[in-house]
Structure 1
Amino acid sequence: MGMQTLKRDDAEHFADVVDAVKAARVRPELSLTEVPPPRRIAPHAVAFSAEVVDPRDDDAVLGTGRFVLLHDPAGPEAWHGTWRVVTFARAELESEMATDPALGAVGWSWLVESLKDAGATYTAEAGTVTRVVNESFAGLAERPSSVELEVRASWTPDGNDIAAHLQGWATLMCTVAGLPPLPEGVSALPGRF
């Protein structure tokens, strides 16, 4: 009997956190859509896909990504907590960045700074920064080379403000997609769901 109550309380708590995450303020260029979360990783999960659109052309997508929030009251050992955020952010960059040896470190620093600026504290972080260079040949030779950057990361939020983690990741999305930072004193709007 106590176990059923605990499960209901966990589900209610998770629903409250999801509501707070959905109310997070993000830039209007970032469009979030709730999508089916991964199964069997945690008893509670929610996932959002994201597109960063060009503020001058809503049809031009500058970047894509995903934000997954997992909750397991049992606290899996590898998580170092009961919550886990799993993300990626991907965008095409200028082709001359392909050979920049610091690109991976810069991509990771964008994540760290975005979370810090949002006030999102965390532990047990892990991730990768990948660059893919596309070169065209033969019948496609007229296409210019392109570089795609992808930041994949996971971390365990500290504290109760899970929405700050979505806000930090949203800033990363916009940075990777090449949007300039918001000017001082300008606030982001509620997310577009």
Structure 2
Amino acid sequence: MPPGRTSSSLRRGTAHTGRASAYPASVSAVNDLSRVPQDFRAALAHLRRARYRDGIELTEIPAPAHLAPYAVAVRAEVRRPAGLPAGPALVADPAAALAPTGPAGSAGAEDELATGRFVLLHDPAEPPAWGGAFRVVTWARAAVEREIGCDDMAGEIVWTWLLEALERHRAGYSREGGTASRVLAEGFGVLGDQVEGADVELRASWTPDGPDVEPHLAAWADTVCTFAGLPPYPPGVTVLHPRR
């Protein structure tokens, strides 16, 4: 086990992966493994063996039903440690396909330092755009100080975090792509005394070299923790301090 990691493992949810309803011969859940391709079964086993650092919680959630014949999805949450003052809730982004459906001001949102989604897609037909039978699609968001959100380098920094994490975990990949965005929050009226802040988001996708996706999930989990400003940090990593 790499230094600084814990024995925490992926927590299963009540709904699991399945063949998307947009495709024929649908499978409602992975409980029917006899109808799931061997490569995807292997990928599921690798995901559920993943180990990740302390401070983040990963849980299986229902996967998108329109992106590929087979898919599995994981939610990540990094909560505010006890004693750290709470800041404003995350800014809502209704256009985020992988983002939570609840409003930003819902219960518990003020305790979130970072949140995200990790989706593994599988299509035995190997779509040309993927360059393989698997594709990882991710989204992550963190609340940061407004000064950080206004920094023109913020997007490049978070993109670099992901690539460096993949390299550290020796997660082979290709055809990587992503977009980073910054959302500034400013209160008015009855919310005028709300602390100004910003959200930084990263949407990224890449093609893993094969079904061994355990290092890919671990690398992404590390990236989300870095988003949240959790120590310890690998040498040379720039920290975005969470909004307080």
C-alpha displacement at 1:25, in angstroms? 0.7
TM-score (norm 1): 0.84
C-alpha displacement at 1:147, in angstroms? 0.5
d(CA) in 2 for partners of 1:121, 1:164: 9
Alignment pair present for 1:158 and 2:209: yes
User: For 1:27-46, what per-residue CA distance to the aligned partner results, in whole angstroms no more than 9, with x for missing partners?
Assistant: 22111111111113212110
Task: Answer whether contact 2:145 2:198 (CA < 8 A) is retained.
Answer: yes
Could you tell me which residue of structure 2 aligns to residue 105 of structure 1?
156
C-alpha displacement at 1:183, in angstroms? 7.3
d(CA) in 2 for partners of 1:138, 1:183: 42
What SS class does the counterpart of residue 172 from structure 1 fall into?
helix
**How many residues matched?**
179
Alignment pair present for 1:136 and 2:187: yes
Of 136, 147, 155, the match for 1:85? 136
What SS class does the counterpart of residue 37 from structure 2 fall into?
helix
Alignment of 1:39-188 (within 5 A): 39-56=65-82, 60-181=111-232
d(CA) in 1 for partners of 2:39, 2:113: 35
Task: Answer whether contact 1:70 1:84 (CA < 8 A) is retained.
Answer: yes
d(CA) in 1 for partners of 2:182, 2:73: 24
What SS class does the counterpart of residue 67 from structure 1 fall into?
strand
What SS class does the counterpart of residue 168 from structure 2 fall into?
helix
User: For 1:4-24, what per-residue CA distance to the aligned partner results, in whole angstroms no more than 9, with x for missing partners?
Assistant: xxx958523312221211110
Contiguous gaps of at least 5 residues in structure 2: 1-32, 84-107, 236-244
d(CA) in 1 for partners of 2:61, 2:116: 12
d(CA) in 1 for partners of 2:70, 2:233: 33
d(CA) in 2 for partners of 1:68, 1:160: 13
Task: Answer whether contact 1:29 1:54 (CA < 8 A) is retained.
Answer: no
d(CA) in 2 for partners of 1:137, 1:92: 19
TM-score (norm 2): 0.68
Could you tell me which residue of structure 2 aligns to residue 187 of structure 1?
none
Residues 183 and 56 from structure 1, CA distance in 2 versus in 1: closer, same or farther, beyond 3 angstroms? farther
User: For 1:57-98, what per-residue CA distance to the aligned partner results, in whole angstroms no more than 9, with x for missing partners?
Assistant: 7x7321110000011111001001110000011110012112
Alpha-carbon RMSD across the aligned residues, in angstroms, is 2.3
Could you tell me which residue of structure 2 aligns to residue 190 of structure 1?
none
Task: Answer whether contact 1:134 1:147 (CA < 8 A) is retained.
Answer: yes
C-alpha displacement at 1:99, in angstroms? 1.9
d(CA) in 1 for partners of 2:162, 2:134: 18
What SS class does the counterpart of residue 41 from structure 2 fall into?
helix
Alignment pair present for 1:20 and 2:46: yes
User: For 1:96-153, what per-residue CA distance to the aligned partner results, in whole angstroms no more than 9, with x for missing partners?
Assistant: 1122111111111111111111111211111100110001122211111111011100
AA in 2 matched with 1:31: E
Between structures 1 and 2, the one with greater helix share: 1
